[in-house]
Amino acid sequence: ARRRLKELLQDCAARQPLELVGEAANGNEALELLARNPTDVVLLDIRMPGMDGIEAAQHIQRLPQPPAVIFVTAYDSHAIQAFEVNAIDYLLKPVRAERLLSALLKAKALVAGSVEALRGLAPQGRAHLSVYERNRVVLVPVEKIVYLLAELKYVTIRTAEREYLVEESLSHLEQEFGQRFVRIHRNCLVARAYVEGFERRAQDDAGEAHSGWAVVLNGVAERLPVSRRQQHIVKEFGRS
């Protein structure tokens, strides 16, 4: 399928100059490639190993310079989802060169002005957070995240196994995953599913007497403080 698509791109190149930056076998490889090579347009299939094309498009839109996305697929049942992730076009296989060229020209018209603005329109509900480590992309399943802790411009992602650093806004993560996480402090969100309970804190982090609460989380040893403003969640969990 990729070979046929490259042949079509060669046909298009005769009428519209273009350069093939690279190709990837799955969404994870695509994210790694895009992290290394700024690209104007990405051609995505829906069905791919690992994450599907819809989720890959969600991650792509969060790149510093997101490319336009065109879906090229044999499945006609995902068009609505594709346009919800702001795809430029949705092409059904078998694709004709004229149809592909039309989509590329449409993408070219948008790349110069408005594609980057589409990042803010990405729908909610990623299944993974993408973390860039040593020239590779690590996908962290959201369901395995115990808590998110903000510090300066980074957020620490804590799972039961290890920590990751991601350059995302805690407030944006809260908006996206508000049903899954609850804020216990201005810089911390904890996963509702991992909350085992709360315990009294005899003193605060500075060693001074303190009558507040700390959350007990399944899978990690840390006891995270609940701010005075968020003390109400102790009662809310007690009623649930």
Three-state helix/strand/coil letters over the chain:
CHHHHHHHHHHHHCCCCCCCCCCCCCHHHHHHHHHHCCCCEEEECCCCCCCCHHHHHHHHCCCCCCCEEEEEECCHHHHHHHHHCCCCEEEECCCCHHHHHHHHHHHHHHHCCCCHHHHHHCCCCCCEEEEEECCEEEEEEHHHEEEEEEECCEEEEEECCCEEEECCCHHHHHHHCCCCEEEEECCEEEEHHHEEEEEECCECCCCCECCCEEEEECCCCCEEEECHHHCHHHHHHHHC
> What is the model's pLDDT at position 144?
96
Q: Above 80 in pLDDT, residue 204?
A: no
Q: How confident is the model at residue 210 (pLDDT cuts 50, 70, 90)?
A: low
Domains contained in the chain, CATH given: 2-121 (3.40.50.2300), 128-239 (2.40.50.1020)
Would you state the pLDDT for residue 186?
A: 94
For 215-239, write each residue's pLDDT tens digit. 999 999 999 999 989 988 888 887 6
Per-residue confidence (pLDDT) for residue 94, from 0 to 100: 92
Q: pLDDT tens across 119-157, in order?
A: 554 555 688 998 988 778 888 999 999 999 999 889 999
